[in-house]
Amino acid sequence: MSQSLNVFIVEDSLVQRMHAVAICEDIGLTVIGEASDGGEALLLLQTMDLPDIMLIDLEMPGMDGIQLIQELAHQSIPVSVIVSSAKEDALIASVETMLQAYGLPVLGAIKKPLTKPQLDKALSHFKPITKDQLQIRPELVMAASEITKALIEHQFIAYFQPKISVNTGVIKGVETLMRWQHPEKGLVMPSQFIAIAEEHGLINELTMEILDLALQQCRHWHERGLKITVAVNLSMLSLSDSNFAEQIAQKVAEFNIDPAYIILEITETAVMGDVGDALGTLARLRLKGFGLSIDDYGTGFSSMQQLSRIPFTELKIDRSFVDGAHLKPHLHAILASAIEISKKLNLKSIAEGVEDLDDLIVLQQLGCDVVQGYLTAKPMPGDELLPWLKANNQRLRELCTPTGNSPTE
C-alpha cells in the first residue's frame, strides 16, 4: 500500500473480528479500534482519533450496521466505509446505495467471508475526506439572465466521451456533454442550469448552441478520416416544439453531415406519459435519418412501452445496472435482460458508466455492443480526441479483445 491507513472494525462475532484484524494487519492497515455493535462503536469514536476507514458488519445485536451508517451520516463523521455481510447480494447492494445517497464514501460492499483480494480492491478506491465534504451544500443556482448572457457570449463548451466497441476497442462514436465555462464561477455542470433554461424557455437555444459545437467537431473529425457518430442530448420540452425536427435537420445540413452520424439521446423518463407532439417529432427525426437513443434505460417504469412506440436505434443501459454487475447477481440478471431485449429489437446496446475491468468482461460475455465510461475514456475537449486516440489505440484494443479471440467486428 502506498499510504498508511487506520481502520476501525465493527463486528459482533469475535472469530470474524479476529479474522478481519489479521487480514487488515497483513496488508498494512493499522487497526485502531474494535467494537461488537454500532452503539459501542459510536461511544468509542468519541474518545479516539477518527479512523480513515470503518469496516462494518451489517447484522449485529443492539445497533446494527445499517443504523450505525445512518448515525455516521447524520453526525457528518468523515470516514470511508466498507460494509460486509453474509446476507444476500441484493441486501448488500441496497446498503451500498444507501451509503452513496448519504454522501458517505463507500469503498466496497463485501460478502463474507472477508478475503485479502476483496479488501485490497475496496482500498484501491480510498481518497481522504473532510467533514465539510459530507455536509449538504446548496446547489449553485444560475439565473435565466445569466444563461441568456452566456448564450450571447458563447460561454458554453462541449466535452466528448468516447464510445468503444466491446470486442475490438475501436471508437464508434462520442457523447456530447455540455459545460458552461463561466467567467467568474468556473466550470458549471448541466444540473445547475438545464432546469432553469427549461423553465424560462431557453432550452431550444441551448440545444442549438451545443449541437453547433458538436457538429463543428464532427465535421473536423470526418475531414480527418475519423468517421464516428456524435450523440447529443435532447430535452422533452424541445421535442414538443413542432418545428424542432426541421431546425435540427437544417442545422445538420449546413455542416454537410449525413444525419446517420448524429444520434439524438432522449432519457427514458422524458418520454413517459401523454407526449403525442414529442413522439411526432421523434418519428420525423428518425424519418430524416437521425439515430435515436433511449438513454438511462431501466430507470423508468415504462421501459417496454417506450421501446414499443418510439423508433429507437440504440439502447443505453443506465450505469446503475452496470457498476458492480460482476459481483451482484441481481444486476447481472437485469443487464443480461436489457442486452437480450436490444438484440431481439435489433438495437445497438451501449453500457454507460463502465469503470471496472470485471464489469467489462461481463458485458463482453453477455454480448453488449459498445461501452462508455472511465475505464476506456473520460470526457475531453474535442481537440484532445485525436491525440488521445493515437496514444490509447493499442491499450483499447488490448483491453477490449476477449481472451483467446482475435478482434472482429
Domain boundaries, the chain: 6-133, 144-400
Contacts of 371 (CB under 8 A, 6+ apart): 163, 164, 166, 350, 351, 354, 360, 363, 400
The residue type of 181 is Q
Question: What gap in Å lies between CA 341 and CA 339, rounded to an integer?
Answer: 5
Question: What gap in Å lies between CA 30 and CA 160, rounded to an integer?
Answer: 42
| pLDDT at residue 137, rounded to an integer | 37
What is the assigned CATH class of domain 144-400? alpha beta
Count of other CB atoms within 10 angstroms of residue 317: 30
Cell numbers that stand for 67 in this block: 443504523
For residue 232, the cross-strand partners are 264
Fold type of domain 6-133 = Rossmann fold (3.40.50)
Of 316, 290, 324, 335, the residue nearest 161 (C-alpha): 316
Q: Mind listing the pLDDT tens digit of every residue in the chain (409 residues)?
A: 445 889 999 999 999 999 999 999 999 999 999 999 999 999 999 888 889 999 999 888 888 888 888 888 777 788 888 988 877 666 666 677 767 666 677 788 888 888 999 898 888 878 776 545 444 333 455 778 889 999 999 999 999 999 999 999 999 999 999 999 888 878 888 888 888 888 888 899 999 999 999 999 999 999 999 999 999 999 888 888 888 999 999 999 999 999 999 999 986 555 544 456 777 888 899 999 999 998 867 554 445 666 666 788 999 998 888 988 888 888 899 899 999 999 998 999 999 999 999 999 999 999 999 999 999 999 999 999 999 999 999 999 999 876 534 333 3
Count of other CB atoms within 10 angstroms of residue 304: 9
| pLDDT at residue 139, rounded to an integer | 45
**Cα distances (Å, whole numbers) of residue 13 to 6, 10, 19, 266, 341:** 21, 9, 10, 50, 45
Count of other CB atoms within 10 angstroms of residue 353: 18
Query: Taking the CA of residue 149 as centre, how many other CA atoms within 13 Å lie in the half-sphere pointing to its CB?
Result: 8
Count of other CB atoms within 10 angstroms of residue 227: 11
Q: Does the model's pTM come out above 0.85? A: no
- Region for residue 60 given its phi and psi (left: phi exceeds 0; alpha: psi -120 to 50; beta: otherwise): beta
| pLDDT at residue 158, rounded to an integer | 95
For residue 53, the cross-strand partners are 7, 80
Question: What gap in Å lies between CA 182 and CA 184, rounded to an integer?
Answer: 6
* The pairing of beta strand 106-111 with beta strand 370-372: unpaired
Report whether 385 contacts 162 (CB < 8 A): yes
| HEC per residue, the chain | CCCCCEEEEECCCHHHHHHHHHHHHHCCCEEEEEECCHHHHHHHHCCCCCCCEEEEECCCCCCCHHHHHHHHHHCCCCCEEEEEECCCHHHHHHHHHHHHHHCCCEEEEEECCCCHHHHHHHHCCCCCCCHHHHCCCCCCCCCHHHHHHHHHCCCEEEEEEEEEECCCCCEEEEEEEEEEEECCCEEECHHHCHHHHHHCCCHHHHHHHHHHHHHHHHHHHHHCCCCCEEEEECCHHHHCCCCHHHHHHHHHHHCCCCHHHEEEEEEHHHHCCCCHHHHHHHHHHHHCCCEEEEEEECCCCCHHHHHHHCCCCEEEECHHHCCCCCCCHHHHHHHHHHHHHHHHCCCEEEEECCCCHHHHHHHHHHCCCEEECCCCCCCEEHHHHHHHHHHHHHHHHHHHCCCCCCCCC
The residue type of 53 is I
